[in-house]
Amino acid sequence: MTPLVNAMTVDVEDYFHVSALAASAPRERWDGFETRVARNTGRLLDLFDEAGVRVTCFVLGWVADRHPDVVKAIAARGHEIASHGFWHELVYDLTPGAFRDDVRRSKRLLEDLSGQKVVGYRAPSFSMGTPSAPVSHSTSACSNERPVAAR
């Protein structure tokens, strides 16, 4: 019998990054909001330590840029660092080139801060394509390849 694998993942972002608030919290205003991500991530890391679990943290590049110690703490405590893009933009709203640039920027920053190779990516608000124009779930945005349409 194959053992059951439990996996825990976290999006490391602040409340004003969520797509539902984009109209009232555009990125030009993000630096003006009270940030809670560092404190809340610290609380989560303590809980994960208490439970003895390791997780994958999909960190927004903007968070890594403003709070590099958050990324360093996640990595130092044994968790995987993955990308949640830099600007939390919906993938299906981006051109392939803009998507590639966003992912590369976040990946480079996260790797520099964590010392880990970043191989995971979670699309903001699950925006990896639409039913009429799906996009593959590969990490091709990190290579020289273009995202490809799913079959």
11: contact with Zn ion by CB under 5 A: yes
* Per rule CB under 5 A, count of chain residues that contact Zn ion: 3
Token pair belonging to 83: 């990308």
Query: Shortest gap between Cβ of 121 and Zn ion (angstroms)?
Result: 12
Do residues 92 and 136 make contact, with C-beta atoms less than 8 angstroms apart?
Answer: no
Q: For residue 70, what are its two tokens?
A: 């958050």
- CA 97 from chain centre, in angstroms, equals 18
Say whether residue 147 binds Zn ion (CB under 5 A): no
CB 91 within 8 A of CB 135: yes
Q: Mask: binding to Zn ion, 13-42, rule CB under 5 A, as x and -?
A: x-----------------------------
- Does residue 124 belong to the site contacting Zn ion (CB under 5 A)? yes
Binding mask 69-108 for Zn ion (x = CB under 5 A): ----------------------------------------
| Other Cβ atoms within 10 Å of 8 Cβ, number | 13
Q: How far apart are CA 34 and CA 135, in angstroms?
A: 35
- Positions touching Zn ion (CB under 5 A) are 11, 13, 124
